[in-house]
Amino acid sequence: KWYMLIFLYSAGASNTFSPTATSKYLKHFYDLKDEPTGRGKRSDSTFSSSVKDMQIFFGLNVTGSLDSQTLDVMKTPRCGVPDVHDYSLTQSTRWNKNQITYNIGRYTSRLPRSTVDSLIESAFNAWSAVSGLKFVRAHRNNADIMMEFVTYAHGDLYPFDGQRGTLAHAFGPGPGIGGDTHFDDNEQWTAGPKGKNTLVVAAHEIGHALGLRHSRNPDSLMYPNYRASRPGNLLSLEDIANINALYRPVQLPIYLNPWLFPRLMQDRCAPDMSFDAVSTVGDTLAYVLLQDTFMFCFLIRYLWIKHNAQPDIKEGPISNFMPKIETSIDAAYRIPRKNTQHHFIESMFWTVKGSTVRGKPRPLSHFGFPVWVQELDAAVHIVKTGRTLFFVHDIYWSYNENKRVMEYGYPKYIYEDFPGLNTTETINAALHKEGKI
């Protein structure tokens, strides 16, 4: 199988290995590039960098070498969708509707058809129960999500590899093949803990078909490696939050949205109230003359603005204050010496000066993140050090704004430098104020 490795031992030399298995894994899941034509041996630094990306994603010791722990993870059966991107790069990130049709084409011979129907329906029900989505079985070949059990090469350029390797894959939302979900029929599909649990795998792949990416959280259904038993409910709190963030109502402005408006306005003093991002601004905006600085608090597509020396609060849709930005903000920070802010939206960021959006959005790779980082949880700039800290799940980076490079030795685990902070939950936002974060 592709994941099996052959080690060659020679006296007086370090262990070498056949590159076929690991190269295939890293090329498919971590975007390891082929060397330019004419070059022989693959660059050790390029290969090591991809190994580090994989180790960071899975929370392993970041060595850049193929230690036993890394190889064990590579051998684990998993979803075929890459961890650094997905099969929806040329398609939409979500369906532009809340009623989605599906159909099952070819079945597996390992389970009765009625059992497969029931398990697939339960997988869809897991997502509809926690969101506003509705799934309808449509007995036709042009349903939004076409599901089938196939083997090896099956017409989509992503062949399966036989038993135990890649279990299944799904394409992101969109026309044509968009949403389609394929299961490797060489696997032992079951309705229980033995073999490969059809319900668990189907629910994971449906997440991709709805537009979700892989998660680094082992408790998430969207974790790429297969886990037969799942604690409690099929979906984690992270899965529920992500599907609702992706399919929030977008037809109406936020101040007309009957679902969101009461939550933001009437319940804004609730004990579980939280923000997506917090930043400061020290420039003159068109609607008010600043004497010092403002604090910006973002939640979904809404914004609160609080002056540090005045009691009143301005509030409204983000687009009211920053035209061109009509979506939610994941993270934001201000660089006072440049009098600019960076606002992060999934894998892109905008540069804002005052209330003016400067230029087009740019990718996160501008900062030197590994390719698997597709979204930030929080960002905060420390004026005294000239560093910006970026938080992603349970790790963080330090970026030198003067040299415009990530600092050596990062990422680090948050708990290492912020002892006592509960990192089992994702950090929502960060702000540097009066010498404290």
CATH class of 99-246: alpha beta
> For residue range 238-251, what is the model confidence (pLDDT) as tens digits?
888 888 888 865 33
> For residue range 62-102, what is the model confidence (pLDDT) as tens digits?
899 999 999 999 999 999 999 987 665 444 588 989 999 99
- Calpha distance 2→247 (Å, rounded): 37
Please give the mean pLDDT across all residues of the chain: 79
The reply to whether 394 sits in an annotated binding site is: no
Mean pLDDT to the nearest integer, 262-284: 61
Q: What is the pLDDT of residue 422?
A: 66
Sheet with 294-299: list strands edge to edge: 277-281, 294-299, 302-307, 313-317
Two tokens, residue 354: 């005052």
Two tokens, residue 62: 């970041």
Q: What is the pLDDT of residue 355?
A: 60
Q: What is the pLDDT of residue 291?
A: 42
Could you tell me which residue, 70 or 175, shows the higher pLDDT? 70
DSSP 8-state secondary structure symbol assigned to residue 166: B
- Calpha distance 259→248 (Å, rounded): 9
CATH class of 7-75: mainly alpha
The reply to whether 156 sits in an annotated binding site is: yes
Q: Which residues pair with 280 in a beta bridge?
A: 295
Could you tell me which residue, 202 or 305, shows the higher pLDDT? 202
N-term to C-term CA, the chain: 49
Hey, do 99-246 and 254-417 end up sharing a CATH topology, with the first three levels equal? no
Q: At what angle do helices 19-30 and 68-75 cross, to 10 degrees?
A: 70
Q: At what angle do helices 19-30 and 44-57 cross, to 10 degrees?
A: 60
The reply to whether 169 sits in an annotated binding site is: yes
| Total Cβ atoms within 10 A of residue 428 | 16
Q: What is the pLDDT of residue 13?
A: 31
- Calpha distance 168→80 (Å, rounded): 6
Could you tell me which residue, 338 or 257, shows the higher pLDDT? 338
Say which CATH superfamily domain 254-417 falls into.
Hemopexin-like domain (2.110.10.10)
Coil, strand or helix at 213:
coil
Is pLDDT above 70 for 419?
yes
Q: What is the pLDDT of residue 289?
A: 35
> For residue range 291-312, what is the model confidence (pLDDT) as tens digits?
446 677 777 667 777 766 667 7
Mean pLDDT to the nearest integer, 218-243: 83
The reply to whether 286 sits in an annotated binding site is: no
- Predicted confidence band at 7 (pLDDT cuts at 50, 70, 90)? very low
Q: What is the pLDDT of residue 116?
A: 96
| Total Cβ atoms within 10 A of residue 231 | 8
Q: What is the pLDDT of residue 44?
A: 67
- Calpha distance 397→414 (Å, rounded): 9
Query: Which residues touch 353 (CB under 8 Å, ≥6 apart)?
Result: 283, 339, 340, 341
Reply yes or no on whether 205 is catalytic.
yes
Q: What is the pLDDT of residue 73?
A: 94
- Calpha distance 223→361 (Å, rounded): 29
Cβ 358 vs Cβ 345: under 8 Å: no
Query: Which residues touch 101 (CB under 8 Å, ≥6 apart)?
Result: 135, 136, 137, 138, 143, 144, 145
- Calpha distance 40→49 (Å, rounded): 18
Window from 127-136, 192-201, 206-215, 310-319 with minimum mean pLDDT: 310-319
Place of tokens 């629910």: 203
Q: Which residues pair with 137 in a beta bridge?
A: 102
Window from 29-33, 133-137, 386-390 with minimum mean pLDDT: 29-33
Output the CA angle 319-322-326, nearest 5 degrees.
Answer: 35
pTM given for the model:
0.64
The reply to whether 28 sits in an annotated binding site is: no
Mean pLDDT to the nearest integer, 102-121: 95
Mean pLDDT to the nearest integer, 114-122: 95
**φ and ψ at 106, to 5 degrees?**
-75, 135
Coil, strand or helix at 168:
strand
| Total Cβ atoms within 10 A of residue 190 | 17
Q: What is the pLDDT of residue 428?
A: 84
Is pLDDT above 60 for 10?
no
Of 417, 294, 363, residue with least CA distance to 89: 363
Q: What is the pLDDT of residue 222?
A: 94
Q: Which of 205, 315, 425, 434 is catalytic?
A: 205
DSSP-assigned states of every residue in 279-313: EEE-S-BTTB--SS-EEEEEETTEEEEEETT-S-E
Is pLDDT above 50 for 263?
no
- Calpha distance 331→44 (Å, rounded): 34
Could you tell me which residue, 347 or 211, shows the higher pLDDT? 211
Query: Which residues touch 352 (CB under 8 Å, ≥6 apart)?
Result: 322, 325, 340, 341, 342, 343, 358
The reply to whether 276 sits in an annotated binding site is: yes
Domain spans, the chain:
7-75, 99-246, 254-417
- Calpha distance 412→320 (Å, rounded): 38
